[in-house]
A and B are shown apart, each in its own frame.
Chain A
Amino acid sequence: MSDLVLRNIGKTYANGYQAIPSIDLTIEEGEFIVLVGPSGCGKSTLLRMVAGLESISQGDLLIKGDQVNHKEPAERDIAMVFQNYALYPHMSVYDNMAYGLKNRGEPKSEIETKVNAVAQMLGLEELLTRKPRQLSGGQHQRVAMGRAMVRDPKVFLFDEPLSNLDAKLRVQMRVEIRELQRKLGTTTLYVTHDQVEAMTLADRLVVLNKGHAEQVGTPMALYERPASTFVAQFIGSPSMNLIPSSIENGVLQLGVDSQLACPQFSTDKVMWGIRPEHVDIVPLQDADLSLQVKAVEALGAETLIHGSVKISEDKQYPFVVRLSGNHAPDIGQPIGLRVPQQAWHVFDAETTKRIEPL
């Protein structure tokens, strides 16, 4: 049975602004769903609608088959972890975790057992008597998660929970969240703007753009077959190279001096794309495309070469190549690139949607 169903969910504000036109989403039990998108895309609004903190203008929200549109947050059996954690500053860690259970009227002994069990799972036993201000950033994060876990909810909601942590801790907590979720098997909805977080955590990703779900799928599906230029550029780092070009008589007109044989598509005005990691360097005379090198970022394990591709006499497009190992091309010089056809992504230039060869 599906755990969480969003059926034609939409949000229109009182001033007429339509934050989310309509979204359909069915989430299976135990799934980890990540909502990802740039700021202002409506991902937090959607999460808050599921939580019950924001009213739902249209559609149905079902948790375990029950329609919960008009239920109070506490009655929906969800738990939420906030971006700034929102711990009660005057309560000890124990009381912070116990507060929700207390309000539900659970007996003291049961609360104690539950809190202690969760504290042990998160390594918080030593901190139970402390106040939030005596905790570090990572510990705050853990307590906030503990507070959510203690309630044993049907759905976990995370609102950018890692964005207040430093880079190292973020990676560590990311792994921890994923592990915990697998162990607990609780359905999870997680909001982030960070695509690395999204890729590593998600069973399925929902890429949101201006309140629309651009694409829903596993991280790999989105990486390999992005449905639009928006998804193509959002997933993957550095993002996909996109060059506007045209197809004429089975020939892709890429740069000024680059014509590549190409299958037939339904349209001839296309956006041609390739991921930086799928490009190889070859001698200039064998090249599909030549790149004017502008900057080189050597990261040790890999090298990023930033440059530009000339598509007409006065027009250039930025292009990035990602190579493993160490390379040192001369800056300002052209280098030859090979762009294998199986790595191409072709989008309709007008609709920005992915198109396949006829």
Chain B
Amino acid sequence: MIENRPWLTGFSHLVLILGVLVVALPVWVAIVASTDPANAFGVGHIPLWFGDQAFANWHQVLIGKEGQASQVLRMTLNSLIMALGITFGKIAISLFSAYAIVFFRFPFRGLEFWVIFFTLMLPVEVRIVPTYEVVANLNLLNSYTGLTLPLIASATATFLFRQCFMSIPGELVEAARIDGAGPIRFFFDILLPMSRTNIAALFVILFIYGWNQYLWPLIVTTDDAYYTLVMSVKRMLSVPDGDIEWNKVMVSTLLAMIPPVLVVIGMQKLFVKGLVDAEK
């Protein structure tokens, strides 16, 4: 669509700018509040400009105050382990299941695919009680395995890889067979490199999904050695008495936002390529 109407251009920009402002405002508030004194947030108005406590707040959260070491690094590490575990686990298991479904003929192949597809309707939140019981019976509470394993099975990723594999021409598969590539060689030499961009795109989505997990870690961990960053934000709000330290809450919030942002920025190019590219 090519139009040349100045007021329309101006209007579109206005709408977009307003949208950006609406989205950015909470982030702005978080950044500002992380520099204010503890009480600035709770007195009836929201501060919109920087305070003078930035260094003190961040120092306290990152390093800890006297006599009490900070938990933040530990929690960031936990979050990272969980997010990466979920991401790589999901990608690996989806790649294998999609490979089986697309390239191998076995009985009930179609049914199996639909059963996998059906689990889309059963996210963790729905099956949380039975899943908890299974994890508890396996003695996996308070462990990284318990944090990641129940979240790894993924219908979405399997479906995506299935579509991606199905678009690979049959002749290519046959050429590989004639070249003497067995199923495993074909998977690692041909399929994996050809799905590189799709894997990258999925990595971004799944990393954010894993990183933002809240309910599951909250339930499955009782030992603070396994607390994740995201759930800690909530824990900081439920102090038994006294004031909530909003400034520190905001520092933690910002910290929790950084890794997903880095992943998105770092993999932006591959991400877009993976979703729109037709290299095959």
CB of A247 within 8 A of chain B?
no
A73 is contacted by which of B172, B178, B189, B279 (Cβ under 8 Å)? B178
Chain B minimum-CB-distance residue to A79? B178
With A74-B178, A84-B171, A86-B175 already in contact, the answer to whether A103 and B185 are too (CB < 8 A) is yes
| 0/1 string, B169-207, CB within 8 A of A gives 1 | 101101111111100010001100110100000000000
Please tell me if B127 contacts chain A, counting CB pairs below 8 Å: no
Q: Is A133 an interface residue (CB 8 A)?
A: yes
Cα(A133)–Cα(B169), bound, Å: 15
Q: In the assembly, what is the distance between CA of A91 and CA of B185, in Å? A: 14
Q: A53-B174, A78-B178, A88-B190 are in contact. List 17 more A-B contacts (CB 8 A).
A: A51-B178, A74-B177, A74-B178, A74-B181, A80-B175, A80-B178, A82-B171, A82-B174, A82-B175, A83-B171, A86-B171, A86-B175, A89-B194, A89-B279, A90-B279, A99-B176, A99-B189
Which chain A residue has the least Cβ–Cβ distance from B193? Answer: A90
How distant is A48 from chain B, measured CB to nearest CB, in Å?
8
* Chain A residue contacts of B177, Cβ below 8 A: 52-53, 72-74
Q: Does B280 contact A (CB under 8 A)?
A: yes
**Do A74 and B179 touch (CB < 8 A)?**
yes
* A88, B175: Cα distance in complex, Å: 9
Q: Is the CB of A103 within 8 A of B181?
A: yes
By CB atoms of chain A within 10 A, which of B175, B180, B194, B196 has the most?
A: B175
Chain A residues whose CB sits within 8 angstroms of the CB of B172 once the complex forms: 86, 88
28 pairs, CB–CB < 8 Å, chain A vs chain B = A52-B178, A53-B177, A53-B178, A73-B174, A74-B178, A74-B180, A74-B181, A79-B178, A82-B171, A82-B175, A83-B171, A86-B172, A86-B174, A86-B175, A87-B175, A88-B175, A88-B190, A88-B194, A89-B194, A89-B280, A90-B196, A90-B279, A100-B179, A100-B180, A103-B180, A104-B180, A147-B175, A147-B179
For the complex, what is the distance from the CA of A90 to the CA of B188, rounded to whole Å? 12
Residue of B nearest to A76 (CB): B178
Q: Contacts A80-B175, A99-B189 given: A86-B169 contact, CB under 8 Å? A: yes
Complex: A103 Cα to B184 Cα, angstroms:
12
What residue of chain A has the Cβ atom nearest to residue B194's Cβ? Answer: A90
**C-alpha gap A147/B185 in the complex (Å):** 18
Report the minimum CB–CB distance from A75 to chain B (whole Å): 8
- Bound complex: CA A15 to CA B206 (Å): 43
Distance, CA A147 to CA B181, complexed state (A): 14
How distant is the Cα of A104 from the Cα of B181 in the complex, in angstroms? 9
Q: Which residues of B lie under 8 Å from residue A72 when comparing CB positions? A: 177
Contacts of B179 in A (CB 8 A): 74, 99-100, 103, 147
State which residues 189-244 of B face A: CB under 8 Å: 189-190, 193-194, 196
By a CB distance below 8 angstroms, the chain A residues around B176 are 88, 99
B-contacting residues, A48-89, CB 8 Å: 51-53, 72-74, 78-80, 82-84, 86-89
Q: Nearest CB to that of B181 among chain A residues? A: A103
Q: Using Cβ atoms and an 8 Å threshold, which residues of chain A touch B190?
A: 88, 90
Are the CB atoms of B181 and A99 closer together than 8 Å? yes
What B residues does A86 contact at CB under 8 A? 169, 171-172, 174-175
Residues of A within 8 A of B279 (CB): 89-90, 133
Closest residue of chain A to B279, judged by CB?
A: A89
| Interchain CA distance A99-B181 in the complex, whole Å | 9
Question: What separation, in Å, do the CA atoms of A100 and B179 have in the docked complex?
Answer: 4
Instruction: Give the chain B neighbours of A99 by CB distance below 8 A.
Output: 176, 179, 181, 189
Q: Which residues of A contact B175 (CB under 8 A)?
A: 80, 82, 86-88, 147
B269 to chain A, nearest CB (A): 17
Which residue on A lies nearest to B195, using beta carbons?
A90
Residues 112-159 (chain B) with a chain A CB within 8 angstroms: none
Distance in angstroms from A44 CB to nearest chain B CB is: 11
Shortest C-beta distance, A103 to chain B (Å), equals 4
- A83: chain B residues at CB < 8 Å are 171
Minimal beta-carbon separation of A310 from chain B (angstroms): 50
CA A188 to CA B178, docked complex, whole Å? 16
The interface residues of chain B lying within 8 Å CB-to-CB of A82 are 171, 174-175
Cα–Cα distance between A100 and B176 once the two chains are bound (Å): 8
Q: Which residues of B contact A51 (CB under 8 A)?
A: 174, 178
- Bound state CA distance, A226 and B207, in angstroms? 68
> In the complex, A83 Cα to B177 Cα: how many Å?
16
4 nearest CB pairs, A to B: A74-B180, A100-B179, A103-B180, A86-B171
A189 to chain B, nearest CB (A): 14
Residue of A79, A100, A104 with most chain B CB atoms under a 10 A cut-off: A100
User: Nearest chain-B residue to A48 (Cβ)?
Assistant: B174
* Distance (whole angstroms) from the CB of B171 to the closest CB of chain A: 4
CB distance from B189 to the nearest CB of A (A): 7
Chain A proximity of B207: nearest CB distance (Å): 24
List B contacts of A52 (CB < 8 A).
177-178
Q: Tell me how far the C-beta of A20 lies from the nearest C-beta in chain B, rounded to whole angstroms.
A: 19
Does the CB pair A100–B196 fall under 8 Å?
Answer: no
Give the one of B171, B174, B178, B194 with max A CB within 10 A: B178
Q: Which of B174, B176, B179, B190 has the most CB of A within 10 A?
A: B179
Bitwise interface map of A from 145 to 174 toward B, beta carbon under 8 Å scored 1, else 0: 001000000000000000000000000000
